[in-house]
Amino acid sequence: MSAQPEYCIVGGGPIGIGIGKCFAQEGLKFTIVEADEDFGGTWALSQRSGLVYKSTHLISSKKNTQFLDFPMPEDYPHYPSHAQMLSYLRSLATHYGLYDRALFGTRVEHVEPNGAGCRVRLSNGETRTFSAVVVANGRMRTPLIPRYPGVFSGETMHSAAYKSHEVFRGKRVLVIGGGNSGCDIAVDAALAAEQTFHSTRRGYHYMPKFIHGKPTQEWLMDMGSKFRSQDDYWSFVQREFKAAGYDPVDYGLPRPDHAIHEAHPILNSLVLYYIGHGDIHPKPDVRRFEGRTVEFVDGTRAEVDLILYATGYEMDFPFLAEDLRPSDGALELFLSMFHRKADSLVFVGYFNAASGLGNLLNCGGALVTDYLVAREKNTDAFRVLRRLIQGPEPDIGRGRFLNSPRHRVETDLWKAMKVMNFFRSVLNPARAAGDVVRA
């Protein structure tokens, strides 16, 4: 009787925990390799991999973030704090026995697919062979900092290093970046800085975190079925947001150059509030630096002591050989999940959707589980899927989003889940009439 195959999960953040949960539920053998000393990844404020700051709360609501088969505590608010999220993730890891399957304080140094599986060299000196490797080390690996002409002589930092608004105390601050983190940190700066400027490259749509007494994501989902067309739906949504005071043009901001559904949503109930009160001074993109003077593309200038770049990240896979590393936002992967060259390499967490963690990860984790089981058995369905993986990708809604680096891996939530569930039904037809969604 052959030994049970064992799988390696690279990373013990939210994605690695979610995949471990799915594997544990299916009785698979696996090891989670995590460079930090505990689970949590991005959500662990005190760990090296932590990217949260003291004021961080979820952008997606509790209901849309939790795993439905492992709900968050009832006393959690609609938008839990980073500490509550970390506690939830670690309790989930405890519940599914992931601590017994984790190797903490250890880095994956090299992964080499070798036909039947992968050889994995670890920082503790071990080299182990696994049937497959699931890469879940996260999209936010290497901070991106744009280059501008001139030299800035003040302080600079990236949002990756930001922990508390105390760093802004008494300073003239410029936050560059219009995403959710950039808006959150600009609001933090407004509370502590002597003066706060916020630079964005274009006009954006802003959504409140609550509308009609509900978390906005939940309200949007509830309203979606009430309209015959997407155009009617989004027109209604924009009218409601304008009535609630969330039209950026009313605050002197540029009109967005894209439709509200063509970009990842910015949910923030305070950034427009502070702009309206003069505590945040909106600015366009930077033209150049000269000492502590920042010149913007509209010709205006500001004297600044500290610049914080909330300008995103690049993915990084240092443990893979150059010819195996996904580039261009992981678009070389089929569904941003399946490696076209090596069937023993699977990637999870490398596309983005306007959704919380639980439902999407249950769906994706279940697909990965079925894929690996079918691979082990070398089923006809697995061989069919591998042929499909060499071809064009199915429509998961990428074409509707802005053509920008930020949106290279953005997908439509419902289309992505529909496609993943379809492939699950191909790999394991018994699922088709059963628990395909696994949400």
pTM, full prediction: 0.93
CB 287 within 8 A of CB 295: yes
How much is the pLDDT for 432? Answer: 47
User: Within a domain: residue 134?
Assistant: yes
- Domain count across the chain: 2
**pLDDT at res. 433:** 45
Q: Is residue 439 part of a domain?
A: no
Alpha-carbon distance of 19 to 136, in angstroms, equals 9
Segment 302-316, tens digit of pLDDT: 999 999 999 998 888
Cα–Cα distance between 364 and 236 in angstroms, integer?
Answer: 32
Residue 345 shares a structural domain with residue 408: yes
258 and 283 housed in the same domain: yes
Same domain, 57 and 168: no
Same domain, 170 and 128: no
pLDDT value of position 315: 86
pLDDT at 402: 67
Q: Tokens 């939530």 appear where?
A: 413
Whose tokens are 């896979």? That residue is 317
**Among 309, 336, 358, residue at a domain's last position:** 309
- Does residue 437 sit within a domain? no
Closest CA to 294 of 98, 89, 149, 126: 149
> 10-residue block means of pLDDT along the chain (439 residues)?
86 96 96 97 93 96 94 97 98 98 98 93 97 92 93 98 97 96 97 98 95 95 91 95 96 93 90 98 98 98 98 91 79 87 92 77 92 95 93 81 71 84 86 45
> Structural domain of residue 290, as residue ranges?
144-309
Query: Domain of 345: which CATH number?
Result: 3.50.50.60
Calculate helix-pair angle for 358-377, 14-26, nearest 10 degrees: 50
Helices 358-377 and 413-427, interaxial angle, to 10°? 30
Residues 303 and 170 in one domain: yes
8 Å CB contact between 260 and 216: no
Distance CA 48, CA 42 (A): 9
Rounded CA-CA distance 352/182 in Å is: 18
- pLDDT in the model for residue 405: 67
Shared domain check, 151 and 137: no
CB of 156 closer than 8 Å to CB of 307: yes
Tell whether 160 is covered by a domain: yes
Query: Which tokens belong to 248?
Result: 């950026």
295 in the same domain as 330: no
Q: Is 132 inside a domain boundary?
A: yes
CA nearest neighbour of 415 among 360, 371, 347 = 360
If phi over 0 gives left and psi between -120 and 50 gives alpha, with beta otherwise, what is residue 378?
left
Same domain flag for 71 and 154: no
Contact of 272 with 140, CB cutoff 8 Å: no
3-state secondary structure of 359: helix
Question: By C-alpha distance, which of 114, 116, 135, 108 is closest to 5?
Answer: 116
Looking at the structure, tell me whether residues 61 and 80 fall in a common domain.
Answer: yes
In a domain, 436, yes or no: no
Identify the CA nearest to 164 among candidates 309, 282, 52, 50.
Answer: 52
Does residue 438 lie in a domain region? Answer: no
Percentages helix, strand, coil for the chain, rounded to the nearest 5?
Answer: 35, 20, 45
Q: 211 in a domain, yes or no?
A: yes
Q: Compute the CA torsion angle 94, 32, 138, 387 (nearest 10 deg).
A: -120
> Does one domain contain both 188 and 291?
yes
Runs of H (alpha helix) within 280-379: 358-377
Query: Are residue 216 and residue 344 in the same domain, yes or no?
Result: no
- Nearest one of 61, 70, 72 to 22, comparing CA atoms: 70
pLDDT, tens digit, 9 for 90 and up, residues 381-417: 999 999 999 998 888 777 777 677 676 777 777 888 8
Question: Among 309, 325, 346, which residue terminates a domain?
Answer: 309
Which residues, 6 or more positions from 134, have their beta carbon under 8 angstroms from its beta carbon? 7, 8, 9, 10, 16, 19, 346, 347, 348, 368
Tokens standing for residue 180: 């959710």
Residue 18 contacts residue 361 (beta carbons within 8 Å): yes
Q: Of 280, 309, 338, which residue constitutes the final position of a domain?
A: 309
User: Could you tell me if 56 and 10 lie in one domain?
Assistant: yes
